[in-house]
Amino acid sequence: MKTILEKVDEPILIDGLTWREFKVVEQLLDRPGVRLSFLDGVLEIRRMPGRKHETAKQRISTLMDLYLESSGIDFIPTGSITLESESGKVKREADLSYELGLDRESPDLAVEVVVTGGGINKLEFYKRLQIPEVWFWEKNRLRLYSLGEDGYTEVDRSRVLPDLNILLLTRCINIENHPQAMREFRQALQSP
């Protein structure tokens, strides 16, 4: 018998919860295959991502690790770390996240791989959590957002990684063969 979450690709939204109620529901729904997010009293319940999502996420992660290591940047890949703030009434797990530098309190960069639509505004999550930059991989394209005083602004070039060639990264993410994508990206990084 299929559960309700196995039947839907769109998230389930439940409105009107306090932070305390959310924390109780979170414990009740703590099971494999379920991802929860919370913002301003709205609980978002999503099924864990499928193959397309995970393949793109792993490709981005691999290429980012290659770039950061080859650039000599101290970094900690914090993956899908849970970020939450009771005062901000927010909880979110990024698909990928990175602390750039040592002794960071929270990630400098969060990456979201979007395969299905709907749900709570993801940029508002990250604004509340004060994440300097958020990238969205959607429809074979990277969209970059940088946090300023008035919220996020879409940018063409990363502000936290200004030397990263976004067009090269995007092209290599889209290469079907994973080892080939790694080789091409690595070769481009090593070229003068």
Q: pLDDT of 156-192, one tens digit each?
A: 999 999 999 999 999 999 999 999 999 999 999 988 6
Model pTM score: 0.83
Write the DSSP string, 82-101.
Answer: EEEETTTTEEEE-SEEEEES
pLDDT (tens digit per residue) in 17-68: 888 888 888 888 877 777 787 888 888 887 777 778 788 999 999 999 999 9
Between 118 and 55, the more confident residue is 55
For the chain, list the domains and their CATH numbers. Answer: 50-190 (3.90.1570)
Residue 9 pLDDT: 62
Q: Which residues of 100-135 are buried (b: 16+ CB within 10 A; e: fewer)?
A: beeeeeebbbbbbbbbeeebbebbbbbbbbebbbbb
